[in-house]
Amino acid sequence: MKMSSDEQLFSRYLKGLKKEKKIVLSWQLIIALAFFVSWEVCSRFYIIDPLLFSSPTKIVELLIHRLSNGTLLNHISITLFETLLGFILGTLGGIVIASVLWYSRRFASIMDPYLVIFNAMPKVALGPILIVALGPGYFSIIAMGFIISVIVTTLVVYSAFNEVDENYTMVLRSFGANKWQTFKEAVFPATLPVMVSTLKVNVGLSWVGVIVGEYLVSKNGLGYLIIYGFQVFDFTLVMASLVIIAILAAIMYKMVEKLEKWLIRHTK
């Protein structure tokens, strides 16, 4: 059975998309491989200081050793748990606050300068206060991840709520919909792509918050390993921790990308 011209065009379009994805992935892998090969070569030939920057082979050896004796998995699991919890709480908290701001224009006007000021504050400076208030444990570290991401989420999502086409809300109101029904049926669904895009930003922010929190108080986690490595001049441990953070952050980012594609496909 022959395909129509429209079907043929669509088939070519899909093949073009797949080809483009393969090209992009190939270049990403080539860049990553070139980076690690260059790093290894520069370290071996003392173009860079091998004591300070270590090398990929030393990092792999260290990771294999620490994974085999079980000391690394505990640190990874603790940091990952703290980051995921801070990420989820920060995102959900930001969406809830943005929803409240949209629902009450007066409350939004009152809170507007405070949100801007709080967003401009260096969140790292709040670390010692959180430690005193919540104690030197998981709560203060998770709170750091939450605080760093919640305000950004609030501002971005609230802005997206306000940019929804008024024609959608006017149609619903003409049929007698109240404000909550308008929000649930028109405003919230229309801004789902923006919320998912905010998740991508929050991936990085949550990692920053948790690692900074671990710098300050933790005796476990990847942030603790980085500080400990600096203290004992074990820069291979420092670089290994950074590589693990980069890999975990990349995995989280890819998971958010998958979620974004799924939502776009099922909300059209």
Q: How many residues does the chain have?
A: 268
H-helix segments, 183-221: 188-190, 192-216
| C-alpha–C-alpha distance, residues 23 and 45, integer Å | 32
pLDDT on residue 213:
85
Spell out the residues 6+ positions from residue 171 whose beta carbon is closer than 8 angstroms to its own: none
pLDDT on residue 90:
92
Q: With the C-alpha atoms ordered 130, 131, 134, 138, is the resulting torsion angle positive or negative?
A: positive
What are the residue ranges in the chain where pLDDT is below 70? 1-7, 264, 266-268
Q: Note the pLDDT tens digit of each residue in 58-74.
A: 999 999 999 898 889 99
Q: Note the pLDDT tens digit of each residue in 179-237.
A: 888 888 888 888 888 888 888 888 888 898 888 888 877 788 999 999 999 989 999 99
The pTM for the full model equals 0.83
Structure tokens belonging to residue 15 = 């093949």
Q: How far apart are the first and last CA of the chain?
A: 30
Rounded to the nearest 5°, which phi and psi values hold at 221? 105, 170
Q: Which helix (H) or strand (E) holds 49?
A: none
Q: Report the SS3 class of residue 104.
A: coil
Contact between 193 and 264 under an 8 Å Cβ cutoff? The reply is yes
| C-alpha–C-alpha distance, residues 201 and 154, integer Å | 12
